[in-house]
Amino acid sequence: MAAVPAVAMNGVKVGSTSQAYLESKAVKDTKSLISDLCRQFYNLGWVSGTGGSITIKAHDDSIPKPQQLIVMSPSGVQKERMVPEDMYVLSPDGSFLSEPAPKPYPHKAPKCSDCGPLFLKAYDMCNAGAVIHSHGMESCLVTMLNPSSKEFRITHMEMIKGIKGHGYYDELVVPIIENTAYEFELTESLAKAIEAYPKATAVLVRNHGIYVWGDSWINAKTQTIGIFMGAFGNQHDPQLDWLLSLSSL
């Protein structure tokens, strides 16, 4: 089986993978799935034109998850117009194996998601199969209720049953990290939050959004819904109610 040399992301890491896996149905289907989900998430308000991102591992039963190829959405492409050919394919160590072709004006040169280093961290530390980064208004608003709060907590909410390891009577705790000027600068604080909250499957970023991961894309999507619905469930909070009313103006 022919090996494909990986282009180093940082000039140091170089990996290789089989050409057959790179051209497999699993990779093609994952590219299509991400473009479909981007469109759907755009319509849900979870991602904006260029804000937010999705990554999913190209699943193959014969390959352990840590060694599976990573498919990642690009930066700077309108989410509702994403197509499979826009996707990047990365080796598990983050080296680029396949990149989209440049498009004519007014499109900018292809660029992988700015969330790349954070996605890789979630893959490495949590053995995730998929990670969703959303700029959804609910995820921003719950971080604004108390600007000094380091956590979002909720319990007695049916939707949190969708979060791994949680039942109706459990308390869901999602850590909140502070935003930075550039997405990649969040990597270290995301890693620290994952370490400090081993049960958490999401990290909120104040005034910015949320990173949610799961064993599979279905699991990651279900958990995103659970957290967003949980945030809506807090609408009895007069401050959140007021903020939500502003967001719908």
Q: At CB < 8 A and 24+ separation, what contacts does 85-90 make?
A: 85/31, 86/35, 86/110, 87/30, 87/31, 87/34, 87/35, 88/112, 88/113, 89/22, 89/27, 89/31, 89/58, 90/9, 90/116
Tokens of 157: 């909410």
The Cα–Cα gap between 159 and 207 comes to 23
The Cα–Cα gap between 112 and 7 comes to 13
Residues 97 and 45 sit within 8 Å (Cβ to Cβ): no
- 158 catalytically annotated: yes
- Give the active site residue among 80, 99, 151, 158: 158
Residues 17 and 97 sit within 8 Å (Cβ to Cβ): yes
Cα-trace Rg, the chain = 18
Question: Which is nearest to 221 in space by CA: 128, 154, 151?
Answer: 128
- With H, G, I as helix, E, B as strand and everything else as coil, classify residue 198: coil
Where in the sequence numbering do the catalytic residues fall? Answer: 158
